[in-house]
Amino acid sequence: MQKRGLISFLKNHRILTHLILMFFVLLVILYFAVSYMDDYTRHGVEVTVPEIKNLTVEEATPILERESLKCQVIDSIYNKNLRPGIIIEQVPSEGSTIKREKDIYVVINTIMPRQMPFPEIKDISYRQAISMLEGVGFPKPEIEFVKSQYKDLVVGAKYRNKEVLAGDKYPLTAKFTIIVGKGMNYEPTDTLNIDNIEL
């Protein structure tokens, strides 16, 4: 009887029924709004960036994850005096404050030196050839003079006593020997280091 009476009451008071429904809908909307704002507020909390230099990416990742941060490798260089694979630069730096879920950009020390193609240096002056090699990033080469009618022009190059061809890739630590013509009257001598030659 009470249930039938309640149904009958609601049917006869439609405005009140609508108000009750609106009240419950408002409660649901308010609940989700509060939940969203709470999550949004926590998402925007600033954290202090930890120091991750001298760690590998694998070692640094869990440290960053504890602060809701992520690691992003943007570049690599080779330094034989440092442990391979470690982080040598980080941005933002340690001690900075940033919001959660942000990336920490890092530069790592590669396991092997970067390789670059050997430039075309044949038939140009050895001074130009040296400049080109250094421009690519290779160390100063040694010079081997040979008897040739093309004086002071490069006739070839060697790496570890093997012929070097333009376009072949070599580590940036590679020490080349460039072969330079010295005229038809030249008598071969020992290989010369470029440091002993005035350019």
Query: Residue 36 has which token pair?
Result: 């969203």
Average pLDDT, the chain: 83
Among 3.40.50.2000, 3.30.10.20, 3.30.230.80, 2.60.120.620, name the CATH number for the domain at 46-109. 3.30.10.20
Q: What is the pLDDT of residue 1?
A: 46
User: Residue 42: in which H helix or E strand, if any?
Assistant: helix 14-43
Which has more confidence, 195 or 149? 149
CA distances from 88 to 52, 53, 77, 136, 137 (A): 9, 5, 9, 23, 20
Q: Each residue of 2-24: pLDDT tens digit?
A: 555 555 655 555 666 666 677 77
Distance CA 199, CA 197 (A): 6
Higher-pLDDT residue of 5, 99: 99
Instruction: Tell me how long the chain is.
Output: 199
pLDDT digits (tens, 9 = 90+) for 116-139: 999 999 999 999 999 999 999 999
By mean pLDDT, which of 16-25, 162-171, 181-190 is the weakest? Answer: 16-25
The domain 115-196 is classified under which CATH number: 3.40.50.10330, 3.30.10.20, 3.40.50.1860, 2.130.10.10? Answer: 3.30.10.20
What are the tens digits of pLDDT across the range 77-91?
Answer: 888 889 999 999 999
Average pLDDT of span 153-176: 94
By CB atoms closer than 10 A (0-12, 13-18, 19+), residue 164 is buried
> In whole angstroms, how far apart are CA 57 and each of 106, 110, 183?
9, 12, 55
